[in-house]
Amino acid sequence: MSKKIDRWRCVRWPATDLVWTAVALLFLSGFATVVRAGSPESLPTHDLPASASLPLTHEYAPFRRAAPSPYPVPGVYQVRYAAFAPASGVRTRTALSQLTYGPVGEPPLWRFITFPQALRRQLAFHTGHSSYRGSLPSQPLQPLFIGGEGGEDSLVDGWTLLFTTGFEESLPEPACLSPDRGWNATGGQAAAGFFAARPTAPMFGFTEPGQPRWLVCGPFVGASGDRFLVEYTYRLATPPGALFFFGISYDGQTFQGSGSAGLTSDWLTQQVAFSTQSAGQFWVAWTYEGDFAAPAGSGVWLDEVAVWRYSPPAMRCGDLDAGHKGLVLTPYDPTAAVPAPIIRRDDTVVVERLAAADVHWVRLGIHALPNGVNLADYDRMIDTLCAQGIRVLGLLNQETLARQDFDATDEATVASYDAEFSSMAAFLAGYFAGRISDWEIWNEPNLAEGAYLPPARYAHLLDQTSTSIKAVAPHVQVLFGGLASAWHDSYDYLRAVYHELDTNLDGARPFDALAVHPYPRKGEGPDPAIYMFADQRWGYETILDKFLELMAEHGDGQKPVWVTEIGWNSARQSRNRPTCFNAVLVQESDQARYLTTMFDILFHDVPLWGQSGTRAVEKVFWYQYMDVGTLDPCAYGSGAHLLPKDWWFGLYRGDKVTPKPGWCAFVAYPQPCQEVAAIQ
């Protein structure tokens, strides 16, 4: 067996402002790198009734209330949260990479999509390939779990689990081979369970000293167009000159991938996404090359390996003519005590209710859990919606990345965040190409109590993200992130963004449509027949006209408006209502009536600027699918902010299935609803 390392491209993360806990001199490809390892970063936490850990999701499940509750389990406090650590107490971080195969004869490209900030400072990475001449596992592995259009529900599941191991007590032979017993299962340190795989010292007389220790698993079989996700968790403490490498091979000899060296304070879960261009089989391998005489506690520990295959459906929902009205759908179920997709196996009731409500559009946020965006969750949700003729508007915002330093002000962090965000946006646009053709960049960037970005900062983020998306999916639409209102504060924000685009970004126009959320405010009250015309004293027919005029002044007069949120909170009679919104809270019957009035105004009274008869508003999305609770918006900055309040904007009650009068108004539009009395 022989092995060589060549055609390496070095990628090094900066290491600054850190306490030295380890110094390693790495002599790789003719250069030396000093790796500094900082003390583990503590993640932000907050004491909550369910002992949840940040990042907190915005909306809560049904909770204890003073008034009679319409929810299925009144008096039960349930909170949807994502904890950083698994039950074992071992903290893991997650990185997402993509391996892209180009034309024959050209080397594949390895890209890091997301990577934990703390570990950027602790590891050095090298991308390239390694050559292997040893024995290979030869029996194709049979799937362990096969998805599909399943059983008694309508879930469309293209995911198949091909292989998984936690290395409990032994290597998973014959699926994996390690020549000369180069790797063994050992106890003592593990990401889960009690065992992990570790490379062993070469045996005298059997293995040439200095040769890498290989662990090869497979083969895995795929059809043309299949996508794969390899996931493995490792902890690294390499001595000087050592290298841990992971690669993928279609011929069993040349493994393309990435090597790493350094010291990690946490376990790192590496996810590698790639696609096949033709039918065939492949192998995955891990190698370790280093000094086995190094002090105890150094080396690498490998655990929790899984290989998944995803077979995309033939349908292309990104081309559906889905009409002009839609619904905001939260991706994770507010009624679940732990994170669970809103559409999942054995619970597709939401899809059935969407179809019953004649919904053909949903606005779906792409949310990262602590271990990143779960692609399988989103594939199942989007494919199931697609099968019902429902098109998706994808929302990318601060919840799309696990890191939450979007509001940083120092130049280095801003640049790092924007680069990672735009990289993730491009990955998702390519991954969901043909299934999502419309992407909204940020939600309410001008909302001070939300994920606020200064206008200049947002202009640069929007430009960079739009450019990245269009590079991989040139025909998709990019939406300016939904402004938090249609009042003058949002108008001033848009004007400031245009100023930055013209002054410092060469007049870029990085969006195809403007998204706005024309919610009521206290002064005018909740009736859209009144507040939507509040700007007539300034010479505008509706409060949207000033935006259309501003767009026309900047050369965007032909671009449409999408109302990606509009709704009313029907908690007026609740004793647990957010009282600072009393002036715009409504009853359920008013919620239904205002829906019809607002839709009429948006679709019939708002033309493009100077183009009477040409409708400006293309799509309207009702906020939102179901009643939930939210952190108290009336108590920002105090401990009471963590006490949930009623957020009853939904077309359905909090049990996900009971319709409200607004449901009938939505279904019947543009005709009047005849069933409100029966629903009440």
Residue positions counted in the chain: 680
Digit-coded pLDDT (tens) for 225-245: 899 999 999 999 888 888 999
- DSSP class of residue 49 equals T
What's 96-119 look like in SS3? EEEEECCCCCCCCEEEEEECCHHH
Do the domains at 5-41+87-310 and 317-679 have one common CATH topology?
A: no
In whole angstroms, give the CA distance from residue 617 to residue 20.
57
Confidence at residue 339, expressed as pLDDT on a 0 to 100 scale: 84
Digit-coded pLDDT (tens) for 271-305: 999 987 677 899 999 999 987 766 667 889 999 99
The CB-side HSE value for 375 (13 A sphere, CA atoms) comes to: 27
DSSP 513-542: EEEE-----TTT-S-HHHHTTGGGGGT-SS
β strands within 484-588, DSSP E: 513-516, 561-566
Annotated domain spans of the chain: 5-41+87-310, 317-679
Confidence at residue 641, expressed as pLDDT on a 0 to 100 scale: 63
Confidence at residue 296, expressed as pLDDT on a 0 to 100 scale: 67
Confidence at residue 50, expressed as pLDDT on a 0 to 100 scale: 34
The CB-side HSE value for 376 (13 A sphere, CA atoms) comes to: 21
Residue 591, helix vs strand vs coil: helix
In whole angstroms, give the CA distance from residue 645 to residue 631.
6
Spatial contact of 274 and 186, defined as CB atoms under 8 Å apart:
no
Token pair 């200049």 is found at: 456
Token pair 């183009």 is found at: 611
Distance of CA 221 to the CA centre of its chain: 28
Instruction: Assign domain 5-41+87-310 to its CATH superfamily.
Output: Galactose-binding domain-like (2.60.120.260)
Mean pLDDT in the chain? 82
Residue 609 has pLDDT above 50, yes or no: yes
- Averaged pLDDT for residues 154-166: 94
| Structural class in CATH, domain 317-679 | alpha beta
- Averaged pLDDT for residues 240-253: 92
In whole angstroms, give the CA distance from residue 189 to residue 195.
7
Rg for the chain, CA atoms, rounded: 27
Which among 184, 199, 197 is positioned nearest to 239, based on CA atoms? 199
Q: Which of 60-64, 141-145, 318-322, 618-622 has the lowest mean pLDDT?
A: 60-64
In whole angstroms, give the CA distance from residue 608 to residue 112.
42
Tell which wins on pLDDT, 78 or 270: 270
Spatial contact of 445 and 426, defined as CB atoms under 8 Å apart:
no
Token pair 């040439």 is found at: 208
